[in-house]
A and B are shown apart, each in its own frame.
Chain A
Amino acid sequence: MPSWQEFQPFIVTGLALGGVYALSGVGLVVLYQATGVVYLAFGAVGAMGALITFSLIAAGMPHWLAWLVCLAFGGAVTLAYGMVFGPLLARRDALVKATATLGLLLVLFGAMDLLWTTSGGEVRSLTLPTDSGGFSLGHVQVTWTQVLGLGVGVLIAGATAAFLRYTKLGTAMRAMANDREITATLGVPVRRVEAAAWLGCGVLAGVAGLLLADMVALDATTLTFLVISSLAAALIARLRSIAFTFVAAIVIGLVQNMLVPIPAVSSYNDMTPFVLAAVALLVLARRQVMTRSREET
């Protein structure tokens, strides 16, 4: 068993990764609440945004503009998908809606593999300027990117919770989570609220893509399937609570990274989100009630 000292750097990386999982998880929860869609293409959108940013920076574009392009790309693709297929699938059950986003995932995945071929063995990387600076905390070196990861996670989770609680648009989103038809009857512009949710979720996908490309790897497959870790956090919160999503994301990030220095399990540490989510789903499903009306929602 490694000593406490050896764990410390992994706690820092774990918190940073957890922060990014949290912001992705929050994006997924908000979109699910407003539209009933589990957005499985979240990771692929972020990955493609990060790759575009990489190419733009390589072509000489100012960094800040390239980052904005990444966020804009995430927002645009997600909003376009939501506007075209959201209404078409609005009355279908959640499973169909989620499966359809797998279609978007495949399209983006194929496009990324086509445009940024990996077979050449070239390693791409995207570094944010926050990597170079930092401070030491005890014996551990902390980079500003890690601070940014956790900070953005906390900020987004807090801001989203407040947004849903106190603003008119947020209230409308919560109402739509309960019943889309009744909300529409009450005069809420359902389409516009949904569009806002899609756009917000897409921009968050771009942010997560940038941060994860820097912290983990700029690789289409890795980033596309990292969404599963964030999804795990959202699932533990049953796609409902922002607070639970945040806590679960931090726990997943921490556990995943703190297993690294333990030799016996270190090669299995990436299983953490899957295992935690699977266990959580099974435990939470115990109190499921089967009724006709719930089956059809």
Chain B
Amino acid sequence: MLETTDVTAAARPRLTLHRPPRGTAVRAAVTAVLLLFVLLALPQLLSLYYVDAMTQVAVYAVVSLGLGVLVGRVGLVSLGQIAVLAVGAWVAARLLFATAQPYPLVLLESGVITMGAGTIIGLPALRLRGLYLALITLMLAGAFSIVLATTNFPNGGHGFLGYNGKLLQIPPIRRPSFAATDPAYFRFAVVVAIIMFALVFVHIRTRPGRAWAAIRQSEPAALAAGINATLYKLWAFALASFVTGVAGGVYAGAAHYLYSYDFPAQNSIILLAVVLMGGAYNMWGAVVAGFLSQFLPALLNNWGVSNDWLTILFGIGVVQVLTTAPRGLADQFPKDMARLGRLIVRLIRRPAPAAAGGEAS
């Protein structure tokens, strides 16, 4: 719904059928090499400060992925995803303090519980579309942040809330035994992120993805084509909440201590901005969004530049994306590079003017 020129988006799946499989193989190989580099070499190359920042990138890439599914695939804009992340972190922290279950199991549980919460919120919200849905998620996130500020995060206390304001020594939230150090935890976060990306990839490439594409183009037309719009919209909510809940679980272990002011309402707005800037229609966009929202602040901090400049940049970026480049950086950048490449090639070859005119179209 965020873009009006959907013709190319509709034509794209057909094009991929005719494309020789070599391109896909090359792309898969590049992705695999990149992932191996990130998993094996990157923690050795970076200082602990940047390893921590990269862990946050992995977490927020997954959060952005969840929002990307809603915005880019189904056309539902949510302004409350940071609240969903906070729910995931809360549930994971509570389970980690209360039980001795293995960490991956806790992640799964926090994902499922967050999914339940997200679906319950999504159910009535399905009546609303477009603008009203975005605004109601803003309202709910605002209400939730007030509840969170009052109840606080679990800190090893008892009872349902698990918060004890009188504790003098707050125990840290534990990490998995196999990923206690920061570099190991970074690898763990990346593996979790890969699994989440794979999960979403499978969804996009199969029946739900096609249904979402139809709903995004036109909900009445999708209904007329026999697509259960309610089911698939709810499915998108559930999937987005699940991956965000899992990301919240990863966040809890990475941070060790959770505070309600780590999840301010304006971060949901910044998240939407970076997702739109990164490109909501592309899974690489989620990675770009993770970098924009977590790595750049760490970098600027290190350089002694205020993060407020980044907020201003994101503000300009979101307006720019909406007015001129609705597909975001992940789509725009390779195109610009390709255009630059063609320009260079043309300058080198200096073809006859007639041929150049034909090529330019």
A binding-site residues for B, Cβ under 8 Å: 38, 85, 88-89, 91-96, 98-100, 102-111, 113-114, 221, 224-225, 228, 231-232, 235, 267-268, 270-271, 273-275, 277-278, 281-282, 285-286, 288, 290-292, 295
Complex: A156 Cα to B353 Cα, angstroms: 64
Q: Of the 9-residue stretches B60-68, B182-190, B265-273, which lies at the interface with chain A?
A: B265-273
Q: Would A292 and B130 count as touching, CB distance under 8 A?
A: no
Contact of B311 among A98, A113, A225, A232 (CB under 8 A): A113
Which residues of B126-149 have CB atoms within 8 Å of chain A's CB atoms?
127-132, 134-136, 138-140, 142-143, 146-147
Q: Sort A-B residue pairs by CB-CB distance and give the 3 closest, nearest first.
A: A106-B315, A110-B311, A107-B315
Q: Would A102 and B139 count as touching, CB distance under 8 A?
A: no
Return 22 A-B CB contacts under 8 Å, by A number. A38-B131, A88-B323, A95-B77, A96-B322, A98-B131, A99-B322, A103-B316, A103-B318, A106-B311, A110-B310, A113-B306, A235-B135, A271-B142, A274-B143, A277-B136, A278-B140, A278-B143, A281-B132, A281-B136, A281-B139, A286-B127, A290-B220
Q: Would B265 and A103 count as touching, CB distance under 8 A?
A: no
Known A-B contacts A95-B77, A105-B315, A113-B308; the reply to A295 vs B322 at CB < 8 A is no
Which residues of B305-321 have CB atoms within 8 Å of chain A's CB atoms?
306, 308-319
Complex: A200 Cα to B306 Cα, angstroms: 34
Complex: A113 Cα to B273 Cα, angstroms: 18
B310 to A, closest residue via Cβ: A110
Give the total number of A-B pairs whose CB atoms are below 8 A apart. Answer: 152
Give 1 or 0 for each of B264-284: 1 = CB within 8 Å of chain A CB: 111001101100100000000
Number of B residues whose C-beta is below 8 Å from A?
50
Q: Which residues does chain B contribute within 8 Å of A231, judged by CB atoms? A: 135
Known A-B contacts A99-B276, A110-B315, A270-B146; the reply to A225 vs B266 at CB < 8 A is yes
Q: Would A95 and B130 count as touching, CB distance under 8 A?
A: yes
Q: Which residues does chain B contribute within 8 Å of A221, judged by CB atoms? A: 264, 266
Q: Would A228 and B273 count as touching, CB distance under 8 A?
A: no
Contact of B142 among A92, A228, A286 (CB under 8 A): A228
B125 to A, closest residue via Cβ: A282
Q: Would B316 and A107 count as touching, CB distance under 8 A?
A: yes
Q: Would A103 and B77 count as touching, CB distance under 8 A?
A: no
B binding-site residues for A, Cβ under 8 Å: 1-2, 4, 77, 124-125, 127-132, 134-136, 138-140, 142-143, 146-147, 150, 218-221, 264-266, 269-270, 272-273, 276, 306, 308-319, 322-323
Contact of B273 among A96, A106, A108, A224 (CB under 8 A): A106
Q: Would B218 and A295 count as touching, CB distance under 8 A?
A: yes
Known A-B contacts A113-B311, A274-B143; the reply to A285 vs B316 at CB < 8 A is no
Q: Would A103 and B315 count as touching, CB distance under 8 A?
A: yes
Q: Is the interface of A mostly helix, strand, loop or mixed?
A: helix
Q: Which residues does chain A contribute within 8 Å of B220, judged by CB atoms? A: 290-292, 295
Contact of A96 among B2, B127, B128, B272 (CB under 8 A): B2
Complex: A295 Cα to B312 Cα, angstroms: 32
Complex: A88 Cα to B317 Cα, angstroms: 15
Q: Would A95 and B131 count as touching, CB distance under 8 A?
A: yes
- The interface centre, meaning the residue of A96, A235, A267, A282 with most chain B CB atoms within 10 A of its CB, is A96
Q: Which residues does chain A contribute within 8 Å of B269, judged by CB atoms? A: 102, 105-106
User: What is the distance, in angstroms, from B127's C-beta to the closest C-beta of chain A?
Assistant: 4
A111 to B, closest residue via Cβ: B312
Contact of A100 among B218, B265, B319 (CB under 8 A): B319
Q: Which residues does chain A contribute within 8 Å of B130, judged by CB atoms? A: 93-95
Q: Would B273 and A110 count as touching, CB distance under 8 A?
A: no
User: What is the distance, in angstroms, from B174's C-beta to the closest C-beta of chain A?
Assistant: 30
User: What is the distance, in angstroms, from A223's C-beta to the closest C-beta of chain B?
Assistant: 12
A113 to B, closest residue via Cβ: B308
Q: Would B127 and A288 count as touching, CB distance under 8 A?
A: yes
Q: Which residues does chain A contribute within 8 Å of B310, judged by CB atoms? A: 110
Q: Would A99 and B266 count as touching, CB distance under 8 A?
A: no
User: What is the distance, in angstroms, from A235's C-beta to the closest C-beta of chain B?
Assistant: 6
Q: Would B322 and A106 count as touching, CB distance under 8 A?
A: no
Complex: A231 Cα to B135 Cα, angstroms: 9
Known A-B contacts A99-B77, A106-B312; the reply to A295 vs B219 at CB < 8 A is yes
Known A-B contacts A92-B4, A271-B147; the reply to A103 vs B273 at CB < 8 A is yes
Complex: A105 Cα to B265 Cα, angstroms: 13
Complex: A273 Cα to B308 Cα, angstroms: 28
Q: Which residues does chain B contribute within 8 Å of A282, judged by CB atoms? A: 124-125, 127-128, 136
Complex: A89 Cα to B131 Cα, angstroms: 15
A112 to B, closest residue via Cβ: B308
Complex: A270 Cα to B148 Cα, angstroms: 12
Q: Would A225 and B219 count as touching, CB distance under 8 A?
A: no
Complex: A273 Cα to B219 Cα, angstroms: 31
Q: Would B147 and A268 count as touching, CB distance under 8 A?
A: yes
Complex: A106 Cα to B79 Cα, angstroms: 14
B132 to A, closest residue via Cβ: A281
Q: Would A228 and B138 count as touching, CB distance under 8 A?
A: yes
Known A-B contacts A88-B323, A95-B130, A292-B218; the reply to A106 vs B4 at CB < 8 A is no
Complex: A107 Cα to B269 Cα, angstroms: 12
